[in-house]
Amino acid sequence: MNLPILVLHVGAGACGLVSGGTALALRKGGTGHKRAGTVFFASMLLMSAAGAALAIVKPDRITAMSGVFTFYLVLTAWATARGSGRAGRFELYAFVGALATATIFLFLGVAASRTSDGRIDRLPGAVADAYAAVAALAACLDLNFILRRRVSGRQRIARHAWRMCLALSIAAMAFFLGQQKVMPAPVQGSPLLSVPPLAALGAMIYWVVRLRLTRRGARRIPAAVAMAEAGA
């Protein structure tokens, strides 16, 4: 019964990893980046939705909620890049969704702490606690956006970049670290499998620092930021 959903999950996940890596490698704001980003957006929505559905059936509640959170990250990142830079109803709904997700993760972490082995379903409660913290941060940033009512072009691209990169890192982590049984035997358990998710996190940190925290980022604005500021 779940085979079609599993095939969709695996196929979309593979497509998302390839297109996400391609989008990171290409010039930001260019045609290739936009096309790869569009494929990444669609693939990740399908992958996260299918993954959440499969995890609910198991059940695997932390994994199911990580699928929901990944869906939220990709959707809000896409809306940020395509939007006008002004907060509206979508941002309000996103804030409520992120807050609810953080709360559910927190409850899952508390529930895990009350078990004999500190796990809920198959995962340790620390995983839920980490997700709860990140989801709470995302909710706070959504609320900040709503209260400020608008963000600059540079802030929009930073918001877009960190959410897309984090979603890519979650997908890479789920595949390279969470599915080691499908890897060739010589690399199972190898630290090399941590490289793809860490690379996505590194890209996230680089773009956030460059766009928001350094003078160099203020002087050398990528083409994507220039277009965003022109349209804001």
d(CA 207, CA 191): 25
pLDDT tens-digit series, residues 16-67? 989 988 988 888 778 888 899 899 999 999 999 999 999 998 888 999 999 9
Residue 213's pLDDT is 64
Judge contact between 204 and 42, C-beta under 8 A: no
Return the H-helix or E-strand segment holding 141. helix 125-148
Find the range with the poorest average confidence among 65-69, 104-108, 137-141, 171-175. Answer: 171-175
pTM: 0.86
Size (the chain), residues = 232
pLDDT tens-digit series, residues 141-195? 999 999 998 887 778 888 888 999 999 999 998 888 777 776 777 777 778 788 8
Rg (CA), the chain: 18
Task: Compare 1 and 202 and report the one with higher pLDDT.
Answer: 202
Q: Taken in order 202, 204, 210, 212, is the CA torsion positive or negative?
A: negative
Judge contact between 65 and 97, C-beta under 8 A: no
Confidence band for 214, pLDDT divided at 50, 70 and 90: low
d(CA 217, CA 221): 6
